[in-house]
């Protein structure tokens, strides 16, 4: 009987904690997307440089994106200029196992990523 109860608790833990891990990953992705948008929106005519009529992001966009990610609760965040007009943000959050933690299964880090693209506006 005890073995059956422990097994049921283990399966419940797998179901619950796996669902919560997906929620944590979704939250990390949402924070990354919001931070990428904030970084791209930080680009103004003062921070935008033109080369062959194509705009590109500056380091100011990286700083704004990271500030936005940490303000939203990210534990670790990186913002990198991927292309001439793309800002890629990666956010890490720790998922805490509730039920599986009782069985000694440690918490783990989940990652969310998003990219914002600056599009040129024709006058």
pTM across the whole model: 0.81
The pLDDT assigned to 123 comes to: 45
What pLDDT, on a 0 to 100 scale, did the predictor assign at position 120? 58
Say which residue the tokens 């500030």 belong to: 67
Do 69 and 116 contact (CB within 8 A), yes or no? no
Q: Which two tokens stand for residue 26?
A: 């979704």
Residue 24: predicted pLDDT: 94
Q: What is the pLDDT of residue 115?
A: 94
Residue pair 117/40 in contact by the 8 Å Cβ criterion: yes
Extract the tokens encoding 85: 């007009």
Least Cα distance to 116 among 64, 45, 46, 53 occurs for 64
- How far is CA 90 from each of CA 66, 69, 110, rounded to the nearest angstrom? 9, 9, 10
Question: What's the distance, CA 3 to chain centroid?
Answer: 39
Question: In degrees rounded to 5, what are phi and psi of residue 110?
Answer: -110, 150
Task: Determine the pLDDT at residue 51.
Answer: 52
| pLDDT tens digits, one per residue of 46-96 | 556 555 555 566 778 889 999 999 999 999 999 998 877 889 999 999 998
pLDDT digits (tens, 9 = 90+) for 16-37: 988 899 999 999 999 999 999 9
């Amino acid at each position: 009987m005890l073995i059956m109860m422990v097994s049921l608790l283990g399966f419940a833990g797998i179901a619950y904690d796996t669902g919560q891990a997906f929620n944590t990953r979704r939250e990390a992705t949402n924070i990354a997307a919001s931070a990428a948008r904030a970084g791209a929106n930080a680009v103004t005519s003062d921070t935008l440089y033109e080369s062959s009529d194509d705009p590109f992001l500056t380091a100011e966009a990286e700083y704004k994106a990271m500030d936005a990610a940490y303000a939203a609760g990210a534990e670790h965040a990186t913002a990198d200029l991927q292309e001439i007009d793309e800002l890629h943000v990666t956010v890490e959050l720790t998922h805490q196992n509730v039920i599986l933690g009782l069985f000694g299964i440690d918490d783990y880090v989940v990652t969310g990523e998003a990219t914002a693209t600056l599009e040129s506006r024709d006058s």
